[in-house]
Structure 1
Amino acid sequence: MTTTTSTPRLVSDDLEARAIAWRRHLHANPELSFEEHETSAFVEHTLRSFGDFEISRPAGTAVVARLEGARPGRVVVLRADMDALPITEENDLPYVSTRPGVMHACGHDGHTAMLLGAAQLLCERRDELAGDVRFVFQHAEELPPGGARGVVDSGAIEGASLIAGVHLLSGLETGKVSSVAGPVMAAADLFTLDIIGRGGHGANPHETVDPVVIAAQVVTNLQQIVARETDPFDSVVISVTTLAAGIARNVIPGSVRLGGTVRTLSASRRGEVRDAMERVIAGITSAHRATYEFSFEVGYDPVVNDHGASAAVRQAAIIELGESALVEFPPVMGGEDFSAYGEVAPAAFFWVGAGNEELETTFPHHHPRFDIDEAALRDGIAVFVRTALDALR
């Protein structure tokens, strides 16, 4: 039975202030995926200032810190990502990005700060731990193939009995936390389609095989897969996001290139959608005497939370923030390479609300004005720490 307790708050005002300072430093000094050299150095330097950590660099620019408990026991892994995005920041903040064209527009600066805060607090409470905590500061979440796979393949999280990952969410009110079992984020795949016709003069379309008209039919008919072949309760997204054709307004081009993304919440659905796309493409191009070349690039797998792991995070959130803080946020069709961790151990990816209308922190992720309500950092640290403490007692 779930109960609400009067447990004193884990995170002191002093630690919250330090987490805010860490986050602002990281926000002002963002680095792109696979280039997080200064960020990694900052993380390692900060961890060493706490003491008692065994620190390694298992893959790329990732940093993993192992905290050995006072007694033998299980292994808990806590993960945060560190990379920024190729976006020019439009905020007017004291800690605005100092690097043109690079910005923390997805909250990874906050994730790193929260995990540093959790590392310090758990280091101080090491005597309470029966087992190990491994803190994974992961690189390159934003750019496939991502950094998670390299961390997993390195063996850095081998033996884990629970893995928890955090993500700040501007679409969720500050003070709220969500940790649901089952699908949380979608598979994120990409596709490219070349439609090959026969070009000619725009005044004589009957002498051509017009790939532009064929492409228009393909774009609209791909949506029929979503509208008429997909269960309304099984979310699927097919978005054509690029279209390149011709250079002269009086010439019908010989080919058209389309590109886009496909999002699904299960591995089986992912394969069905890919096959349906090719069936639609083949039918339309064949009917109009064109040919095609279709490539489907498999990206991150869906993030699917383990029931036990997500329940542990929910209980931690209730203890630290109260039962009213817990919400059930629906699956997000964005992708995340946290899915790689769930393949090797029970894993839970949880949302921490960072949206505040008064502070104007409700801009969507990857927006040039994205920012977070820094009060959310305290919530994330508390859930991380309580999850580890309860798992290792």
Structure 2
Amino acid sequence: MEPYQILEEAKKIESKVIELRRTIHAYPELSYQEHRTAGLVSDFLRGLGVEVHENVGLKTAVMGVIRGKRKGVLALRADMDALPLNEETGLPFSSKVPGVMHACGHDAHTAMLLGVASILTKHLDEIGEVRLLFQPAEEDGGRGGALPMIEAGVMNGVDYVFGLHVMSGYPSGVLATREGPLMARPDSFKVEIVGRGGHGSAPHETIDPVYISALIINAIQGIRSRQVNPLEPFVLSVTSVHSGTKDNIIPDRAMMEGTIRTLNDNVREAVIRSFQDVVKGICEAYGAQCRIEFKENPYPVTVNDPETTREVKEVLAQIPGVEVRDVPPVLGGEDFSRFLQRAKGSFIFLGTRNERENIVYPNHSSKFTVDESSLKIGVTSLSLLAMRFSR
């Protein structure tokens, strides 16, 4: 099937895909709570005659299976969860759930994959078995939704896997990816500093955890410039500090949280080792105790298979009006990394920025939205990859 023909088919269902996206957007659900969205997905797939599997590793996980006439097995993934954020877009289909918003585009991912299902069910002669993975809890950051689905068998026998993520950093009409590492491993840490509180007028009688926290925050930035090769990309950020109750009380404890993001396991080990040494050393020097915790089971580095990705770029470049870009890695994390550990494949960014329409706010912003004209490009892309790789 020629790319322009699939694009024309995507245009015919564009309004339906947009309608689905807006419905999902208006009723966002947090990680592990995607019951309404999962129900919408299941009902829509059944309406197409697609084989539906619910509760696939998690109660809100759904897998649709389209059985074509070729022999290959391919998986396509869309995530479904939203973020704990109050929406400030002012759109007529804004979130109706206070404090919850689709600020990362998972509503668009789900709607596009339903659009792909609509197209592929009409082309059974051109595909093998295509598994549509509707994944919960991508935003969890730890165990997430991919691992339970994998443990439930969704990747058994899969030859290739592909995923698409809307990205405000690229304009509509752009598809962006790279061979090899694309996204980082996102480790999260908590540090509790235990000192000895007292009166704010007599700090010499205390072990001040607030002061010690400030020293630690400054000192760990030296890991970036002095303890790890500066040519290696990584980020170490303290994003939360909590301590104290009143202006004249030096507290007993302070708590810091943050993230370490790396693209290389050797760099990760060196950074974590240095981080622990710095924190423990400063606390010991000032007589404080510390407890350091790292979140269990963080997402791995998202690594695109080089050979597959080269072919993917060739396929996508044939879509009329589309520009395919090679991009540097980014330090965001992604649960899709676990699927790529089980089969060859690629993760691709779909540009959704439109400055003319003031669609410019970044992913995870309370004003984030997508240029809906880009959704047909996403539908076309995944449909073409399904036809090319499920051989």
Instruction: Indicate the residue corresponding to 1:134 in structure 2.
Output: 131
Give the alignment's Cα RMSD to 1 decimal: 1.7
Residue in 1 aligned with 2:270? Answer: 272
Greater shift, 198-207 or 236-245, is seen at: 198-207
Cα displacement string for residues 191-226 of structure 1 (whole angstroms, at most 9, x for unaligned residues): 111222222222222222222222111110011111
Kindly provide the amino acid, as one letter, of the partner of residue 69 in structure 2: A
Which amino acid letter does the alignment assign opposite residue 278 of structure 1? Q
**Partner SS for 1:133:** strand
Aligned equivalent of 1:309: 308
Instruction: Tell me, in whole angstroms, the C-alpha distance in 2 between the residues paired with 1:168 and 1:237.
Output: 23
Q: Report the alpha carbon displacement of residue 248 of structure 1 after superposing the two structures with TM.
A: 2.6
Asked if the contact 1:230–1:236 (Cα under 8 Å) also holds between the matched residues in 2, the reply is no
Shift of 1:355: 0.5
Give the share of equivalent positions with the same residue, in percent: 40
- 1:373 aligned to which of 367, 371, 375: 371
Partner of 1:10: helix, strand, or coil? Answer: helix
- What letter matches 1:194 in structure 2? E
Q: 1: distance between equivalents of 2:271 and 2:336? A: 23
Out of 340, 357, 367, the residue aligned to residue 338 of structure 2 is: 340
> How far apart in 1 are the matches of 2:266 and 2:328?
20
1:321 & 1:288 partners in 2: Cα distance?
Answer: 64
Does the 8 Å CA contact 2:52/2:62 hold for their aligned counterparts?
no
Q: How big is the shift at 1:189?
A: 1.4
Tell me, in whole angstroms, the C-alpha distance in 2 between the residues paired with 1:380 and 1:339.
19
Maintained 8 Å contact 1:189/1:261: yes
Change (3 A) 1:137 1:6: closer
For the pair 1:350 / 2:357, whether they are aligned, the reply is no
- Per-residue deviation at 1:363? 0.4
Checking the alignment, whether the CA contact within 8 Å between 2:3 and 2:320 is kept in structure 1 is: no
What SS does the aligned partner of 1:260 have?
A: strand
> What TM-score does the superposition give when structure 2 sets the normalisation length?
0.94
Q: Contact 1:11 / 1:381 at 8 angstroms: preserved in 2? A: no
**Residues 54 and 67 of structure 1 are in contact (CA less than 8 Å); yes or no, is this contact kept in structure 2?**
no
Secondary structure at 1:117 match in 2: helix
For structure 2, list consecutive stretches of 5 or more residues without a partner in the other structure.
Answer: none
Counterpart in the other structure of 2:169: 171
| Partner residue in 2 for 1:389 | 387
Query: SS of the counterpart of 1:368?
Result: coil
User: For the residues of structure 2 that align with 1:28 and 1:248, how far apart are their CA atoms?
Assistant: 41
Hey, what does 2:157 align to over in structure 1?
Answer: 159
Offset of residue 123 of structure 1: 0.7
**Residues 259-296 of structure 1: CA distance to partner in whole angstroms, max 9, x if unpaired?**
11111112222222111101111221222222211112
1:256 matched residue in structure 2: 254
Please state how far the C-alpha of 1:162 moved relative to its aligned partner.
Answer: 0.7
For 1:69 and 1:288, the matched residues in 2 are separated by 67
- In the other structure, the counterpart of 1:27 is 25
Q: Name the CA distance, whole Å, in 2 between partners of 1:6 and 1:27.
A: 29
TM-score of the aligned structures, taking structure 1 as reference length: 0.94
Please give the per-residue CA displacement for 1:26-84, whole angstroms capped at 9, x wherever unaligned: 1112111111111111111111111143544312211111111113x111111000111
Which SS does the other structure have where 1:375 is aligned?
helix
Cα distance in structure 2, aligned partners of 1:176 and 1:390? 20
Aligned to 1:81: 79
Structure 2 letter corresponding to 1:310: T
1:69 counterpart = 2:79: no
1:108/1:11 Cα in 2 relative to 1: closer, same or farther (>3 Å)?
farther
Per the alignment, do residues 122 and 283 of structure 1 end up closer, same or farther by CA in structure 2, a change over 3 Å counting? same
Gaps spanning 5+ residues in structure 1: where? none
Contact map agreement 2:53 2:64 (CA 8 A) in 1: yes
Once the two structures are superposed, residues 146-193 of structure 1 have per-residue CA deviations (whole angstroms, 9 ceiling, x without a partner) of 100011110012111110011000111100001211111111111111
State the match for 2:190 in structure 1.
192
**Compared CA separation, residues 343 and 9, structure 1 to 2 (3 A):** closer
Distance 1:59 1:357, change over 3 A: same
Provide the C-alpha distance between the structure 2 equivalents of 1:189 and 1:243, rounded to a whole number of angstroms.
17
Does the Cα contact within 8 Å between 1:267 and 1:301 map onto a contact in 2? no
Question: Which stretch shifts more, 77-86 or 187-196?
Answer: 187-196
Cα shift readout 1:323-381 (whole Å, capped 9, x = no counterpart)? x6011232221111111111211131100000001122210111111100011111111
Specify which of 339, 359, 362 is matched with residue 361 of structure 1: 359
Q: Following the alignment from structure 1 to structure 2, what is the Cα–Cα distance between the partners of residues 116 and 122? A: 10
